[in-house]
Chain A
Amino acid sequence: MWKYEKKLQYPVRVSRCDPYMAKLLLEQYGGADGELAAALRYLNQRYTIPPKVIGLLTDIGTEEFAHLEMIATMVYKLTKDATAEALRAAGLGDHYVNHGHALFYQNASGVPWTATYIQAKGDPIADLYEDIAAEEKARATYQWLIDMTDDVDLQDSLKFLREREVIHAQRFREAVEILKEDQEKKKFY
């Protein structure tokens, strides 16, 4: 069971209408290393991971949905009142004819999200190493997104999201260490 909270995890402000930046931000909405992929990856892997790590996958997977909502908020604000002409000039003409002003789960190039972006191998080390890599790739994506805008308000929210990738990667690394412990041996103490 999940419940919704009527607030963002972190404030999202954008200082001007910029549909081109919205297009770029879609990479973290419906891209391979984006927030949707992250949430679905962890919340699916958790069913077949050792008990000591299930809580962590549940909690990080849940936080990813809060990040997805932040990206959605950025895209929404950046395109909300943009004219069809402005969307076309930003390279979103093809998006507009299919979706109007709606958001859609696709990457910055317009490729729709696919489950092939994520894996569940049923092998704890294989899955956690994928998760660590996913966090580092998302961190890099946020760096390149920060480079692509000079809107300091937008940069501020993107820096928050980038730092969360750092923390998630740290926790996944710790999860690997926990699985390396010899649990049977401890029982003899």
Chain B
Amino acid sequence: MSDPKRMDARYYELLEQLQAVDFVLVDLNLYLDTHPTDVQAIQQYNHYVQARWNLAQEFERLYGPLTHFGHSISNAPWRWSESPWPWEV
């Protein structure tokens, strides 16, 4: 029997795009922690913050909230607690 919660190809594609942008933000963030006056890196960071926001909007519209505690808008019913969780996909 097929699992109705099986994620489609678009899910994996968007997820990887989001992981890529978030990864750039993590690595730039650690760099800026030790290079706080690198204005060019700060501009690049801010650029990816915007790109990240757009991608996350698209992802959440299709697959539900990425974050809890008020950082993502919720549809009804409440989708946050729905499977699958990251270790299950």
Contacts and interface: CB of A to CB of B under 8 A. Distances in A.
Interface in A1-48: 3-12
B30 A11 contact: no
Nearest to B31: A171
A60 interface: yes
A73 B86 CA distance: 8
Given A7-B15, A8-B86, A174 B34 contact: yes
B71 A10 contact: no
Interface of B: 15-16, 18-19, 22-23, 26-27, 29-31, 33-34, 64-69, 71, 80, 85-87
B83 to A, nearest CB: 11
Contacts of A10: 19, 23
A16 to B, nearest CB: 17
B86 A6 contact: yes
B8 to A, nearest CB: 16
B29 A9 contact: no
A81 interface: no
B67 A9 contact: no
